[in-house]
Chains A and B, each alone.
Chain A
């Protein structure tokens, strides 16, 4: 494969064109967010905002209750009854994502340690049930989970997001696989030194588990950041909405009206930035995480 035939370069050309197609929607979002309202419905559209503005984020000439042609409420001027407005959703998403990621990793890492390194009766059966549960699509448990959360009075609450999401079968499965590669001698050495199991887990096992935890953390955090169907069902009150639900409601409220699409693009841009920045900072971990779980799983 070291010597390249000339057609190999030619064959790449359509893929370069495709790369342009890949970037076009992102570009369309960015310029949409900075186009003033009249420019959003100009025909033919502009591919560089002729008169870029922050009006879609905050429009100084917009006043509540008054209709001025060419001006709509900016993103930060919406949800006036909600303290923080748009940033409330950002905070909700950040909090829920962090809680679910840390919580589910700790629970699964603890359980994986017990299942692989400690004497547990029926561990084969437990592991088998966990494996079997991975074959069932999660939507199957959607309705009963909704009923449970409703009976607990957890609709419109953070618990409603977090608690049902903590026990993740695939995380346990992955960590058990990884834990098997940690030599038992290390654990024994800890016991000889008189450390309790919890201490061994925290001081010896967790640090060794770090690559696996990092890989899983990225998966869990991305999934939780994008979580939509579950909050759509359990969250009615805007003050508990996460970003996807808030964005979906925002787009419904401006539906079919090009004037509001600038605000929707502004919100989309701000919602995408955290994960994209996160990706560029931890790029290596992303690809490593995917291949680690991909090849092993």
Chain B
């Protein structure tokens, strides 16, 4: 890595003093500690991230199945995935619905919570702790609890609550129309507290004088919110939106834990809870179509990249309005 770079040391038109120094002692030897300190990170980064990414790009154009050596098949995986794969269409549709509602509702609730409980009073601190609790609880435990709450039997918590209102029991997890709403509900429940913490920091960074000035001008609470709070909160909002967007596209564990009924079924009844990453897992590690699964992985990247770029552009356009 660094041996090839040593000859440049004398060619460079650097300031004279530095050049003279470099001549006295070669760059590499002088800076050896630096390279040694960088090397462990770079080596692992290259071995377990850069190389796998390149390799995965290559595999996406092959028919690799884990046993036979891969054959290049051109765009076959992508055309199959994008044009005639009903399961992928289902996964993409479910994921899109999930992302829109999960990100939208989580952000709205997080903002509402931050506005309501932003001070350092005991009441606000307690409420913040309650809403933040899911973020520090084992996610596997949470999904197992939700699975138990949405139990099909009458004694499940969800069905008990329905019974209080005189409604009949529902087979929650095996009703296809309820799969995505349940996943959205679980993610909003689990994610709002995290966004709230970020919004609270954002709110507290807004100078108090702005509000005082507005008050002197006789602005209503609503106008203050609309003309001071929201515009100044925009960078924080964008951050919350983008990070939860990226996280929502990668949903896996909730689907796998709450909706899997048998060992070979990852997406719930009629694939009603199937999402992109569970589908990738199913094709890659259930059916061992590793080439095809790599094409799913790169499709996931493209989708996330396009959506977050559009989102960033949108936020910038809004700022210029």
B193 partner residues in chain A, CB cutoff 8 A: 22
- Per the bound structure, the CA–CA distance linking A225 and B140 in Å amounts to 10
Chain A minimum-CB-distance residue to B33: A197
**Does B253 count as interface, using CB distance less than 8 angstroms?**
yes
Contact indicator B138/A169 (Cβ below 8 Å): no
B136 partner residues in chain A, CB cutoff 8 A: 222, 275-276, 278-279, 286
Known: A141-B52, A143-B297, A172-B41. A1 touches B154 (CB 8 A): no
Which of B53, B147, B155, B205 touches A140 (beta carbons < 8 Å)? B53
Contact indicator B155/A45 (Cβ below 8 Å): yes
- Per the bound structure, the CA–CA distance linking A54 and B32 in Å amounts to 60
Known: A22-B189, A251-B257. A141 touches B155 (CB 8 A): no
Contact indicator B55/A139 (Cβ below 8 Å): no
Which of B66, B139, B142, B148 touches A32 (beta carbons < 8 Å)? B148
Known: A25-B142, A196-B33. A144 touches B59 (CB 8 A): yes
Contact indicator B145/A268 (Cβ below 8 Å): yes
**Chain B interface bracket (under 10, 10 to 19, 20 to 34, 35 or more):** 35 or more
Contact with A along B232-262 (1 / 0, CB 8 A): 0000100110000010011011001100110
Contact indicator B37/A23 (Cβ below 8 Å): no
A111 partner residues in chain B, CB cutoff 8 A: 37-38, 40-42
Contact with A along B72-113 (1 / 0, CB 8 A): 000000000000000000000000000000000000010011
**Does A41 count as interface, using CB distance less than 8 angstroms?**
yes
Known: A139-B297, A140-B297. A107 touches B197 (CB 8 A): no
Contact indicator B139/A167 (Cβ below 8 Å): no
Contact indicator A137/B141 (Cβ below 8 Å): no
Binds B, one of A69-77, A78-86, A121-129, A209-217: A121-129
Chain B minimum-CB-distance residue to A271: B138
Which A residues from 100 to 146 make CB contacts under 8 A with B?
A: 107-108, 110-111, 113-115, 118-122, 126, 129-130, 133, 135-137, 139-146
Chain A minimum-CB-distance residue to B247: A137
Contact indicator A24/B197 (Cβ below 8 Å): no
Contact indicator A290/B49 (Cβ below 8 Å): no
Chain A minimum-CB-distance residue to B263: A252
**Does B281 count as interface, using CB distance less than 8 angstroms?**
yes
Contact indicator A28/B139 (Cβ below 8 Å): no
Known: A139-B250, A198-B33. A164 touches B116 (CB 8 A): no
Contact indicator B144/A21 (Cβ below 8 Å): no
Contact indicator B116/A22 (Cβ below 8 Å): no
B281 partner residues in chain A, CB cutoff 8 A: 229, 233
Q: In the complex, which of the residues B253, B263, B304 has the most CB atoms of chain A within 10 Å of its own CB atom?
A: B253
Chain B minimum-CB-distance residue to A295: B201
**Does A163 count as interface, using CB distance less than 8 angstroms?**
yes
Known: A143-B284, A198-B33, A198-B37. A247 touches B144 (CB 8 A): yes
Contact with B along A11-24 (1 / 0, CB 8 A): 11001101101111
Known: A28-B148, A129-B50. A107 touches B40 (CB 8 A): yes
Contact with A along B143-157 (1 / 0, CB 8 A): 011111101011101
Which of A24, A229, A244 touches B138 (beta carbons < 8 Å)? A244
Which B residues from 129 to 188 make CB contacts under 8 A with A?
A: 129-134, 136-142, 144-149, 151, 153-155, 157, 160, 163
**Does A68 count as interface, using CB distance less than 8 angstroms?**
no
Known: A22-B131, A130-B45. A143 touches B141 (CB 8 A): no
Contact indicator B130/A110 (Cβ below 8 Å): no
- Per the bound structure, the CA–CA distance linking A190 and B113 in Å amounts to 47
Binds B, one of A56-64, A178-186, A257-265: A257-265
A135 partner residues in chain B, CB cutoff 8 A: 305
Chain B minimum-CB-distance residue to A297: B239
**Does A243 count as interface, using CB distance less than 8 angstroms?**
yes
A257 to chain B minimum Cβ distance, whole angstroms, is 11
Contact indicator B138/A15 (Cβ below 8 Å): no
Q: List 16 A-B contacts (CB under 8 A).
A: A15-B117, A23-B130, A29-B141, A41-B153, A111-B41, A114-B34, A141-B48, A141-B49, A144-B53, A144-B56, A144-B59, A148-B48, A167-B41, A198-B33, A226-B139, A261-B151
Besides A148-B51, A228-B139, A268-B144, 19 more A-B contacts (Cβ < 8 Å) are A19-B127, A21-B189, A25-B142, A28-B149, A44-B163, A119-B27, A119-B34, A130-B45, A135-B305, A136-B53, A140-B300, A143-B297, A144-B52, A167-B41, A197-B33, A229-B252, A264-B148, A265-B144, A272-B138
